[in-house]
Amino acid sequence: MFELLIFIVGLFIGYHVGYSMLIWRIKDLIIKEAKSEGIDMSIFDEEEKPNNAVSQLFIERVNNVLYLYEKDDRTFICQATTVEELAKLAKEYKQIKYAAVMDEHTNDVFAFVDGKVKNDILANKT
């Protein structure tokens, strides 16, 4: 009975591994053929974010220097002495037009919009 269970699990895993390899191989062949025909495949790059996407960033303070990082993969973006400079440099260096930013030191949340800081977005308006 145990051998039958191992056989079924092996078939299941083999099917999914084979299916994944087939999909990867077909994708690779399509990309190679498109490149050989001169078709621009850059719009299908998975790592490229749209220009108008909202980035999630956080600020780390060390002494009097502010460091700006991406939240997901913790990659460094820029450093400055003021939040306004960070917004300007993020747009200039990494083309970050829209971002939600959290200051880890003060737990303040604000937005970068087109190189400017908007801190009244989350304020209660009565």
Query: Among candidates 94, 37, 40, 29, which has minimal Cα distance to 68?
Result: 94
> 58 and 37, same structural domain?
no
Task: For residue 51, name the pLDDT band (cuts at 50, 70, 90).
Answer: low
Full residue range of the structural domain in which residue 87 is found: 54-118
DSSP 3-state of 8: helix
Total tally of structural domains belonging to the chain: 2
pLDDT of residue 105: 80
Distance, CA of 116 to CA of 126 (rounded, Å): 25
Instruction: Count other Cβ atoms within 10 Å, centred on residue 60.
Output: 15
Does the pLDDT at position 108 exceed 70? yes
> 103 and 82, same structural domain?
yes
Structural tokens at position 1: 């009975």
> 100 and 62, same structural domain?
yes
> 68 and 106, same structural domain?
yes
> 60 and 25, same structural domain?
no
Give residue 114's identity as a one-letter amino acid code.
D
> 109 and 59, same structural domain?
yes
**Helix or strand run (H / E) with residue 10:** helix 2-36
Please report whether residue 32 resides in a domain. Answer: yes
Does the pLDDT at position 46 exceed 60? no
Please report whether residue 123 resides in a domain. Answer: no
The arithmetic mean of pLDDT across residues 35-51, rounded, is 66
